[in-house]
């Protein structure tokens, strides 16, 4: 009977843990997210005190007059590349337009996490990615995970001599 006391203590500990976990499970609201995609709870929402999304760091000094327009595209390219690293099997056809890529960067992605602040100067009033001349950036998918970015340049007319283009193989 000497061994009965530790066994009873162990059983009481297990019972306490079971009650604790069952009560926590009942407190958790049911999720409406599709299987495999976690739903963000209100306490996970971005609050003013939380740090800026990581993509904002890549876009530091975006459209600064002391940098080149090609550097702007490189910054966007690095932000996109960093996010695509998280989703290795992502079919980039789903982010093949300016609007879809913009939404993806703002948080419409499998993690429901903004990679760039929705109020970042990169985004225009309609939500599109804009170049320094406030023109939509042309997003052209080349292949899986390969996206060409084009700025219409100072004449604001796409596919002319003054365009700035970042192709997938260019240094970022």
Residue 114 CA to residue 126 CA, distance in Å, equals 17
Instruction: Report pLDDT for 16.
Output: 64
Percentage of the chain beyond pLDDT 70 is 70
Angle between helices 98-106 and 69-84 (to 10 degrees): 60
Within 8 A by CB and 6+ apart from 29, the residues are: 41
Average pLDDT over residues 129-154: 92
How remote is the C-alpha of 123 from its chain's centroid? 14
Asked if residue 144 has pLDDT above 70, the reply is yes
- pLDDT-derived band at 142 (thresholds 50, 70, 90) equals confident
Instruction: Report pLDDT for 48.
Output: 55
Q: What is the 3-state secondary structure (H, E, C) of 92-103?
A: HHHHCCHHHHHH
pTM, two decimal places: 0.68
Instruction: Report pLDDT for 57.
Output: 92
Average pLDDT over residues 22-30: 52
Instruction: Report pLDDT for 153.
Output: 97
pLDDT tens per residue, range 61-96: 999 999 999 999 999 999 988 888 887 777 777 888
Residues 110-113: contacts with CB under 8 Å, at least 24 apart: 110/36, 110/37, 111/37, 111/38, 111/86, 112/33, 112/37, 112/38, 112/39, 112/40, 113/40, 113/53
Which of 10-24, 72-86, 92-106, 108-122 is predicted with the least confidence, judged by mean pLDDT?
10-24
Asked if residue 6 has pLDDT above 70, the reply is no
- Which residues, listed in sequence order, are joined to residue 148 by a DSSP beta bridge? 140
Asked if residue 146 has pLDDT above 80, the reply is yes
Q: Extract the tokens encoding 53.
A: 């999304």
């Amino acid at each position: 009977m000497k061994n009965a006391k530790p066994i009873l203590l162990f059983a009481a500990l297990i019972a306490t843990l079971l009650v604790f976990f069952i009560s926590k499970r009942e407190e958790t609201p049911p999720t409406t997210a599709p299987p495999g995609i976690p739903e963000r709870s209100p306490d996970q929402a971005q609050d003013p005190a939380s740090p800026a999304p990581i993509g904002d760091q890549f876009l530091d000094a975006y459209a600064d007059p002391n940098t080149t327009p090609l550097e702007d595209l490189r910054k966007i390219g690095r932000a996109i590349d960093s996010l695509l690293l998280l989703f290795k099997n992502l079919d980039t056809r789903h982010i093949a337009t300016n609007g879809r890529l913009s939404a993806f960067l703002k948080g419409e992605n499998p993690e429901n996490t903004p990679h760039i602040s929705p109020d970042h100067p990169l985004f225009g009033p309609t939500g599109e990615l804009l170049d320094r001349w406030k023109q939509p950036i042309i997003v052209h998918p080349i292949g899986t995970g390969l996206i060409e970015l084009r700025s219409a340049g100072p004449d604001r007319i796409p596919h002319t001599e003054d365009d700035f283009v970042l192709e997938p193989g260019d240094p970022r």
